[in-house]
Chain A
Amino acid sequence: MSECTCKKDYTLDTLVPQVGVITDIRQETPDVKTFRVNAPEGGKLFEHMPGQCAMVCAPGISEGMFSITSSPTNKEFQEFSIKKCGVLTDYLHGLEVGDEILVRGPYGNNFPVETELRGKDLLFIAGGIGLAPLRSVINYVMDNRENYGKVDILYGSRSADDLVQLKEIQEVWMKTEGVNVYLTIDREQEGWDGNVGFVPTYLKEIGFSSDKTALVCGPPIMIKFVLQALEEIGFSKDQVYTTLELRMKCGVGKCGRCNIGDKYVCKDGPVFRCDEVDSMPDEY
């Protein structure tokens, strides 16, 4: 037969991960840690865009899709903020600096930071670990401040102890010109003098002007009520972006499980504009 050309043309298959080394671990909250990952020889494993995800694999345990929480403007490393809530994440929480893990990606689309979002006033709304994907965009916007308008960040969690990236929020975001940060927690807590109440309620109380573009991420129930609240204060669906999350195995639209209608969340998402979400069949 004709000479075999496979070996020449093939790069490493997309399902085969790279080895990454954990170079820093921050305990953000009682059940969230942020892992810093580098290539073993230093530097980043790959380039990504804000909102994209990667598969983090622990050999012998499993692999799972996580949003890359660091901004692509960070040239030194990538970070993942991971909540301990299952077999894989339990294992990851047990790892130490210097341990190697496997990472493949990046996968999916990204927030349209270089197109639709350019020049806009941005309203970020996050709940709990939902800050992880938005942090990538927020820091991208911070590092390219001149390309965007005013920035408002509304972030809430169950308690003051559950606020992720609090140090960065207080020391960087709150001190950046043209950036307003609004924090809220679900219940009264000693030592907390900020707002108390759910994110959707606080959102309506503040009443942002509806000429902004909103980026929403958090638990499904929060997203649902935030979208209602945004509509009430005058936002239309095409001004709001969110991310969806479904079970994934491959990350490239082939294993067949993360589809909603004809869209694959891993490939066509995870970022969707809310009018796109509305046009999908109700199965997410």
Chain B
Amino acid sequence: MYKIAKEKLPALFQLLANEQELILPIKNSGQVNFGLWDEEVEVDLTALNSVKSPKDAFFPQGESLYTCKKDGKKIEIQQEELRDKDFVIFGMRPCDYRGVEVLDKVFLVDPVDSYYQARREHGIIVTMACSEPEETCFCKVFDIDCADPKGDVAAWLDKDFLYWKPVTDKGKAITEKVSSLFAESDDKAVETIQEDIRSIVEKLPYSNLSLEGWGAGKTDEKFDSPIWESFANSCLACGTCTFICPTCQCYDIKDYNTGNSVERYRCWDSCMYSDFTMMAHGNNRTTQMQRFRQRFMHKLVYFPTNNDGMYSCVGCGRCVSKCPSSLNIVKVIKRFQEEGGKAN
């Protein structure tokens, strides 16, 4: 375990950024999002959630897959260069780190998505404990301990110091490069931080939400419930929940004509949109109820069915605070909990 005084953090960022790109939470116009560090930016390590999740460090909102050039009848294709340079992503929250683990289950299973894999191999994640979890947080429901971050490096912040614990080989390698700035620390300070965090988490309103009745193999019990209809009436189909979500991975593949070539790119898409499943001979999800149900069934039933019970919600609370219609996964879980007997 190492520590560094908070006022020395700019020197740490500088040193990290000398070697590779450094991505961290930056405040801009009052909003915090992950972005590239330079000396001018305002780093914000206190904001609990970035507006967008940091998933686009690995799964960007838009990315080119390959370029096609036509020469008469001939077509030539050139795959986009894969990421081949390391980068550090600093200050990812434990829930968002679980989000990356969820994305791994999608993109790293056969056939591996090489664009994603290259970024994962070159990304070094410094995960930071949540000193002050908020009322919208419910990571505990998914067995995430936000006092004990997983990642290549685990970090904690108190009022004077940042504590730094290398976890993986990648984490140890990066630690060696910046260790000149660190002092050794015993575990006591971090243990105190952890106790404080856990006592806050215990009191959070959603921490004791029950997932009973959800999980692998529960499709039949939930699919035909009238509860979906009652929610879907207020869903605007704006897709905000899917874009800010750390685990939503639906994507579209489209073409961009550059004038002398065609770039095929991938971009985030949303199961909330009416044309998402539209094809020449029809659409199998024609109502917002079906689309709304798809999103929550995917996170709480279908994904666990295919991934040894792992949920694809991490309890970050972004949808809780950002949905313009105040619809969210907590409400869904609660309503089913309350009306469980009747609905089934």
| Residue contact A86 to B280, C-beta cutoff 8 Å | yes
Which residues from chain A contact B302 at a C-beta distance below 8 Å? Answer: 259, 261-262
Q: With A13-B114, A256-B249 given, is the CB distance from A247 to B277 under 8 Å?
A: yes
**Residue of B66, B223, B278, B279 touching A16 (CB-CB under 8 A):** B66
**CA–CA, A262 to B303, complex, Å?**
7
Which A residues from 1 to 29 make CB contacts under 8 A with B?
1-2, 4-7, 10-17, 19, 21
Contact string against B for A residues 48-65, beta-carbon threshold 8 Å, 1 for contact and 0 otherwise: 000000000101111100
| Residue contact A17 to B111, C-beta cutoff 8 Å | no
Which residues from chain B contact A6 at a C-beta distance below 8 Å? Answer: 82-84, 114, 117-118, 121-122
| Residue contact A63 to B253, C-beta cutoff 8 Å | yes
| Residue contact A13 to B73, C-beta cutoff 8 Å | no
Contact string against B for A residues 243-273, beta-carbon threshold 8 Å, 1 for contact and 0 otherwise: 0011101101011111111100000000000
**Residue of B20, B106, B113, B278 touching A13 (CB-CB under 8 A):** B113
| Residue contact A61 to B298, C-beta cutoff 8 Å | no
Q: How large is the interface on A (under 10, 10 to 19, 20 to 34, 35 or more residues)?
A: 35 or more
> B251 within 8 Å of A by Cβ?
yes
**Residue of A7, A57, A60, A255 touching B82 (CB-CB under 8 A):** A7
Nearest opposing residue in chain B for A246, CB measure: B284
Q: List 30 A-B contacts (CB under 8 A).
A: A1-B20, A1-B124, A6-B114, A6-B121, A7-B84, A12-B79, A13-B65, A17-B77, A57-B264, A59-B264, A60-B255, A61-B255, A85-B280, A102-B77, A220-B282, A246-B284, A247-B279, A247-B284, A249-B253, A249-B269, A254-B251, A255-B269, A256-B298, A261-B223, A262-B303, A262-B305, A281-B219, A281-B223, A281-B224, A283-B290
Residues of chain B touching chain A, judged by Cβ–Cβ distance below 8 Å, are: 20, 65-66, 68, 70, 73-77, 79, 82-84, 86, 106-107, 111, 113-115, 117-118, 121-122, 124, 169-170, 173-174, 219-220, 223-224, 249-255, 257, 262, 264, 266, 269, 271, 276-285, 290, 294, 297-298, 301-303, 305-306
